Amino acid sequence: MSAETVSVTGWGRTAPTTARLIRPRSYEEAAAAVRGCGARGGIARGLGRAYGDAAQNAGGAVLDMTGLDRVHAIDAAGGTVLCDAGVSLHRLMRVLLPLGWFVPVSPGTRYVTVGGAIGADIHGKNHHVSGSFSRHVLSFELLTADGEIRTVARGTPLFDATTGGMGLTGVILTATVQLQPVGTSLMSVDTERARDLDDLMARLSATDHQYRYSVAWIDLLARGAATGRAVLTRGDHAPLDALGTRARRDPLAFRTPRFPAMPAHLPERLLTRTSVGLFNELWYRKAPRARTGQLQSLAAFFHPLDGVPHWNRVYGRGGFVQYQFVVGYGQEETLRRIVRRLSRRRCPSFLAVLKRFGDGDPGWLSFPMPGWTLALDLPAGLPGLGALLDELDEEVAAAGGRVYLAKDSRLRPELLAAMYPRLDDFRALRAETDPHAVFVSDLSRRLSL
C-alpha cells in the first residue's frame, strides 16, 4: 500500500484541496487504511469523474480504490457479474460484450468505477426505462467504520443509504450487478431536430416510451422563437439482422476511437459566447431534420467525449461547473423559465442535455425523480455565475426539484433538506454506523451531511 500527499480535485478542476492519497491493493490494506485515516477521516475515490468535491478530503485521507479491480465471476447464462468496486465500466464492457452482455446503466463516460457508480447512483439515457444503476445492483460488500466487511442486500436501510450516499457510509469493496443482454455492439439511432423547447418536450413526451435510450442536446445560446432548440437522439441496441455483411463477422466487437489529448494549458478565454455560439450553430445545422436507423458504435452513442483524453482542460485552468437539476412532471414552466433565463444571459454552454426520468430509485440521496433533468457545463470564471446558480437552486427547490450531488461544488446546505426528503434518515444512519465520522469529504463538510 502506497501513500503520498497530493492536490486533489474533481473533474471540473475547481477548488483543489490537499490530502493523503492512499492506494490499497487488497481488502486488508483498505481496512488498514480506514483504521488509520486519522482525525480528518477518509473518503473512497475511483477514477475522479465526480465533477465537484465529493471525492476530496482536505487535510485527511483519500483512498484510491482503482487498485482493487478484479472481475471475480461472470454468470454468462443469468447475466450477472461479481467484481471489485475499482473495476471501470470501460473494462466491464470489454469483458462482457463478447458474451452478449452490456452494463445496465452508463453515464456520459465509461471511465467510472463500479463503486463510484453505486455511490453516486449514476443514471444514463435509459432512466425512463431502466432506472439508475442501483436498481440493477443485487448486493455489495461494504467496509464500514468499525472495520467490518458487511454484505449488504437490496431493500435494507444500509443499501438505500449507500446507493447515492457519495461514499459516506463506507468503502464499497465488491458488487454483484445484473446486466443487459445485447445481440451486437452497435446502436440503431434515430435523430431529429426540435425547433424550440416546447417542440422538444412534446416530442419527448409523445414517443420516449418507444426507445430504451433518449437524450436531447439543447442550444442554450439560441434566443427568441428558437429558445431551447435542440437535437434529439434516441435509440436501442441494434439486432443482428440490422448489420451488414462485414459487421456480422464480429457483431460484438467493442471499438473505441481515441484522439489526441487536450493540451495541459489552454487559453482561459477559449470558450466565449462567440466561439460557443458558432459551435452550437454548426452542431444544430449539421444535424439531420429527421433520420432513422443509423448504426453507431457504443462509444459514439454513449461516450463521444471519452475519445478525447482530458477533454475537461478545454475550460482552461479555472475549470468549469457542471450544473444538473431535476424538476417533476407538472413543473414544465419552471424548466421553461430556467432555459429562458440561461438563454437571456447568453451562458456559453456547449454541453447542455435534457432527459426525462422515470420512477425514482430507493436511495435516500439518489438524484433521479420522475421529471425533467437538465445538465449543463459552464466556465467557472463566468461573471456572476455563483449568484445565478444560487437563484436557480432556489427556483428548483421551490418547485420540489433537486440538484445532483455527484456534480455539485457550490450548493448551499440550507436547501438540501427541501431537495432530499430522506436527508434526516441518512444523517441518522451515519450517526449510528459511523459515530466518529471516519468517512468524510469536502462535500460532506460543506453540506453538513
Q: pLDDT tens digits for 251-307?
A: 999 988 776 766 766 666 667 778 877 877 888 888 899 999 999 999 999 999 998
Q: pLDDT tens digits for 150-194?
A: 999 999 999 999 999 999 999 999 999 999 999 999 999 999 999
Cell numbers placing 128: 425512463
Distance CA 164, CA 177 (A): 16
Distance CA 140, CA 379 (A): 37
Mean per-residue pLDDT of the chain: 94
Q: pLDDT tens digits for 1-18?
A: 788 999 999 999 999 999
Cell numbers placing 74: 461472470
CB under 8 Å to 243, separation ≥6 — which residues? 184, 186, 251, 295
For 139-172, b/e burial (b = at least 16 CB within 10 A) is: bbbbbbbeeebbebeeeebbbbbbbbbbbbbbbb
Cell numbers placing 136: 440493477
Distance of CA 115 to the CA centre of its chain: 13
Check the CA dihedral 343-344-350-351 and report its sign: negative
Cell numbers placing 40: 480528518
Q: pLDDT tens digits for 377-416?
A: 999 999 999 999 999 999 999 999 999 999 999 999 999 9
Which whole number is the average pLDDT over 19-26?
Answer: 97
Taking 80 as the threshold, does the pLDDT of residue 38 lie above it?
yes
Taking 80 as the threshold, does the pLDDT of residue 116 lie above it?
yes
Distance of CA 69 to the CA centre of its chain: 20
Q: By percentage, how much of the chain surpasses pLDDT 70?
A: 98
Q: What is the DSSP string of 382-448?
A: -TTHHHHHHHHHHHHHHTT-EE-TTT-S---GGGHHHH-TTHHHHHHHHHHH-TT--B--HHHHHHT
Q: pLDDT tens digits for 130-142?
A: 999 999 999 999 9
Q: What is the DSSP string of 213-233?
A: EEEEEE-TT--GGGTT-EEEE
- pTM, to two decimals: 0.96
Diameter of the chain measured on Cα atoms: 62
Q: What is the DSSP string of 356-386?
A: EE-S--S-TT----SEEEEEEEEETT-TTHH
Distance CA 364, CA 423 (A): 7
